[in-house]
Structure 1
Amino acid sequence: MQSKNISVHGSNMHVLTANEESSKSPILFLHGNPSNAFIWRNIAPIVASTDHPIYVSDLIGMGKSDKPAIDYTFAEQYMYVEKLIDTLNLRDVILVLHDWGSGLGFHYFAMHESNVKAIAFMEGIIQDIGTFFDSATIDFFHQLRGENGWKMICEDNIFLQNVLPTWVSRGLTEEEVEGYTSPFKIVESRKPIWKWVSQVPLNGKPELMASVVENYRTKLSKSTIPKLFCYAEPGAFMPEPVKNWIIENIPNLKSVNVGDGIHFIQEDHPEEIGKAIKEFVITL
């Protein structure tokens, strides 16, 4: 795949591309927290065999994208993604989403329904985590969002060193760990990770994000565009109760169980996910 920098709001966003000359609908991959385009490395090439244009983006402040002096709120991150789509002139786009990439992609769909042809998603944010996480996990998130959150996430680097590998079923190699940690070598570079954690809807807070999620959740439940839901068991952000709600309430949805997994399921089942997305895209 080709590595490119796209100027967006005065900063460069790093994008991996393939098949750019194809006239087929473009496919945009959006990662979440605390990852980067690296998470799609074994999936995007499989999907690229469809000859659709492929765009695998690093969110602003993450991966190989620039790290401007912004607050890295959801609104700012979305502003960059929305402008990136416009700058690349992506029309009738197919979105492939994970984690906060789903928050951004689902919100883009809610704001630009006519420009989204289909959505594939996995382990995304579609429900308040206070409704399904156990008390220990909820307490952990409260700590991360509290007065010691900056120290835990940015100084102690707990999200990259502990949370990410724990939420992968298999062990990551040293090279794979480096693929995730290399963009965040200094304390200040981890600001986006810290900010993302503070914005996950938890017991209705923050209210703005709870409202955003509820809005796109409602839109998804009424939309008839094709959707692909790849899930693993037991999952993390989309465990069985959330999975069941999705399958029962979102129309024109194909669901695929890719196997055992927690949250970063691209690391456990890249071939299964890639194949599912490829087959989904071919049917569009």
Structure 2
Amino acid sequence: MNTAQLISPDFPFDSNYVEVDGQQIHYVDEGEGDPVLFLHGNPTSSYLWRNIIPYAARQGRAIAMDLIGMGKSDKPDIAYRFVDHVPFVDGFIKALGLKNVTLVIHDWGSALGFHYAHRYPENVRGIAFMEGVIRPMTWAGFPPDFRAGFRMMRTPGLGWVMISGLNMFVEKILPSAIVRDLTPQEMAHYRAPFPSARSRKPVRVWPCEIPIDGTPTDVHDIVSAYSNWLGETQTPMLMFHATPGGTIGPSEVAWCRQTIQNLEVVDIGAGIHFLQEDDPHLIGKQLEEWLGRVFK
């Protein structure tokens, strides 16, 4: 059977909302027990985790939020820089009263999650991550297949045309960073939150926030700080990586193995950046096993 047939496009979860800083944040809430908080990145939503949530819900309370301006969360007229997202993630955790949290994080969700864990280590019992922002980047070390495109997206004017105008992050970059082909139903889910140029502002801003060669300075400093913390903490961590990978390729895998003290590593095989769309069941099973073994 084709792998794509095993990956459900359905999102069979009830929608929940909580107010944070005057805005409604959408989230999925399945299972009971200690919270397992899923944080997505660009240009996705809680939908990215749809096939993984049921596995985690057998070991705890699986919660997947939509970042502000993304998914079904409110879309206020804010700058949508990394530092603008931080208080909404912090506020979400506080509003739901989440304690003893395990973070499951990807892409910009990883930067938000690592930053939270660095600041509130007493509230984080473990971290599972994949294709994350583990340290500041350089253009020389940036994934070659995406280097030219991201340079253009960080160019004022051109970036607006590419992302806000043509919706290229959803239409081109997302599917090109998955080994299998997304179905029309899946693409419809990813398009739904961004029907207009104005609604795509968060998607447009995120590429400009990647700390590359020291810019932007504030994000570089934040990522540097939690990157150093990754080498100091004893927090249990689980890393998923793939071949060829995107933000976490062979050199990043080696760095994590050498740097993170309490780390387990899972190779999912073929995958680029959105690993949850290539082999969600392997990720889900390994996550469920790790949660049950390490924290019970």
Calculate the TM-score normalised by the size of structure 2.
0.92
**Structure 1 position 220, deviation (Å):** 1.1
Q: Which moved more, 1:244-253 or 1:131-140?
A: 131-140
Retained in 2: the 8 A contact 1:129–1:203? yes
**Structure 1 position 141, deviation (Å):** 1.4
Please state if 1:88 is matched with 2:96: yes
- Aligned-residue identity in percent: 39
Please state if 1:109 is matched with 2:117: yes
Pick one of 44, 59, 65 that aligns with 1:57: 65
Q: Unaligned 5+ residue runs, structure 2?
A: 1-12
Question: Which residue number corresponds to residue 280 of structure 1?
Answer: 290
Query: Residue 129 of structure 2 aligns to a residue in which SS?
Result: strand
Please state if 1:156 is matched with 2:166: yes
CA 1:53–1:136: 2 relative to 1, 3 Å: closer
Question: Which residue number corresponds to residue 52 of structure 2?
Answer: 43
Question: Which residue number corresponds to residue 189 of structure 1?
Answer: 199
Between the aligned partners of 2:93 and 2:220, the Cα distance in structure 1 is 24
Retained in 1: the 8 A contact 2:143–2:247? no
Measured against aligned partners, the alpha-carbon deviations of 1:143-164 in whole angstroms (never above 9, x if no partner) come to 1011211111100111111100
Between the aligned partners of 1:14 and 1:271, the Cα distance in structure 2 is 24
The one-letter code sitting in structure 1 at the alignment partner of 2:123 is N
Question: Which residue number corresponds to residue 248 of structure 1?
Answer: 258
Between the aligned partners of 1:128 and 1:221, the Cα distance in structure 2 is 14
Q: Which moved more, 1:116-125 or 1:200-209?
A: 200-209
**Structure 1 position 93, deviation (Å):** 0.4
Retained in 1: the 8 A contact 2:177–2:273? yes
Between the aligned partners of 1:234 and 1:64, the Cα distance in structure 2 is 31
Query: Residue 35 of structure 1 aligns to a residue in which SS?
Result: coil
Number of residue equivalences: 280
The one-letter code sitting in structure 2 at the alignment partner of 1:80 is F
Q: How does 1:1-284 map to 2 (within 5 A)?
A: 1-19=13-31, 22=32, 24-50=33-59, 52-130=60-138, 131-134=140-143, 137-147=146-156, 148-283=158-293, 284=295
The one-letter code sitting in structure 1 at the alignment partner of 2:39 is L
The one-letter code sitting in structure 2 at the alignment partner of 1:266 is Q
Instruction: State the superposition RMSD in angstroms.
Output: 1.1
Between the aligned partners of 2:179 and 2:96, the Cα distance in structure 1 is 35
Calculate the TM-score normalised by the size of structure 1.
0.96
**Structure 1 position 127, deviation (Å):** 2.6
Q: Which moved more, 1:95-104 or 1:204-213?
A: 204-213
Q: Unaligned 5+ residue runs, structure 1?
A: none
**Structure 1 position 128, deviation (Å):** 3.0
Retained in 2: the 8 A contact 1:132–1:241? no
Between the aligned partners of 1:280 and 1:204, the Cα distance in structure 2 is 35
Retained in 2: the 8 A contact 1:14–1:58? yes
The one-letter code sitting in structure 2 at the alignment partner of 1:227 is M
The one-letter code sitting in structure 2 at the alignment partner of 1:259 is G
Between the aligned partners of 2:210 and 2:97, the Cα distance in structure 1 is 30
Measured against aligned partners, the alpha-carbon deviations of 1:7-50 in whole angstroms (never above 9, x if no partner) come to 1110100000012xx3x321100000000110000000111122
